[in-house]
Structure 1
């Protein structure tokens, strides 16, 4: 079996990004390891403690130069580039709103499921999505 294990998300600050993803989105911190060059290997993934391996993790990579800093918050040119699936849309939407997550629209109920677009602390667009049950 093969799957995409990690995707890099360029961020301004490790600790700020860790706080947002763990506190506002409910991800868990999988790894935070210093590297010899002064950078850190930081991985977060959806799911609470003890629920690892629930999908693709994010490598939070601090921007190292001006070209990378220019991509922070706009890694997909303004499109929704990340999709956070949930098994309880109302629970996660309510918790995320209470945590101060910025939603860009009201929740919608589409044939494919319940969805709402939100942005992370840098402006990257995400879908919170509870897929419709399959027939």
Structure 2
């Protein structure tokens, strides 16, 4: 068991539509479906860095942008462009690395970050 792996929970209003988006358009992998007592089903996806994203059906969406990490932001930008994801931003370079932003089908805002070290060694 890798204790360094992290879970991020994201509320979605339509679990199936969100699953289709993250699996097909973003290329994440389905890890497992969960039945949570007193709630609708949830899905756990494996992200690019091995961490996990849990999609949990809920009427309320996330209030702040959800930060996800990737190993190749330009690849993911190209993939999302080809899939015609509405609201996709152009790659932006910052001291932390390269970022893109996009909404999911439910209206949550996501920021995808590829960490980069710009210091000369």
TM-score (norm 2): 0.77
Match of 2:73 in 1: 89
Matched position secondary structure for 1:17: helix
Please list every run of 5 or more consecutive structure 2 residues that lacks an aligned counterpart in the other structure.
none
Change in Cα spacing, 1:130 to 1:6, as seen in structure 2 (3 Å) is: closer
CA apart distance, 1:27: 0.8
For residue 100 of structure 1, give the secondary structure of its aligned residue in structure 2: coil
1:7 paired residue number: 8
Give the direction of change, closer, same or farther, for the CA distance of 1:133–1:121 in structure 2 (3 Å limit).
same
Greater Cα offset, 16-25 or 30-39 = 30-39
The answer as to 2:23 corresponding to 1:22 is yes
SS at match of 2:117: coil
Correspondence for 2:104 among 120, 123, 131:
120
Q: TM-score, normalised on structure 1?
A: 0.71
Structure 1: gaps (5+ residues): 48-52, 64-68
- Tell me the CA shift for residue 42 of structure 1: 1.5
Distance in structure 1 (CA, Å) of the matches to 2:73 and 2:9: 25
For residues 88 and 133 of structure 1, the distance between their equivalents in structure 2, rounded to whole angstroms, comes to 14
State the Cα deviation string for residues 60-98 of structure 1 (Å, max 9, x = none).
Answer: 2122xxxxx1x22xx12xx42x22222222211101111
User: CA 1:102–1:88 in structure 2 vs 1: closer, same or farther (change >3 Å)?
Assistant: same
Q: Is the 8 A contact 2:11 2:56 kept in 1?
A: yes
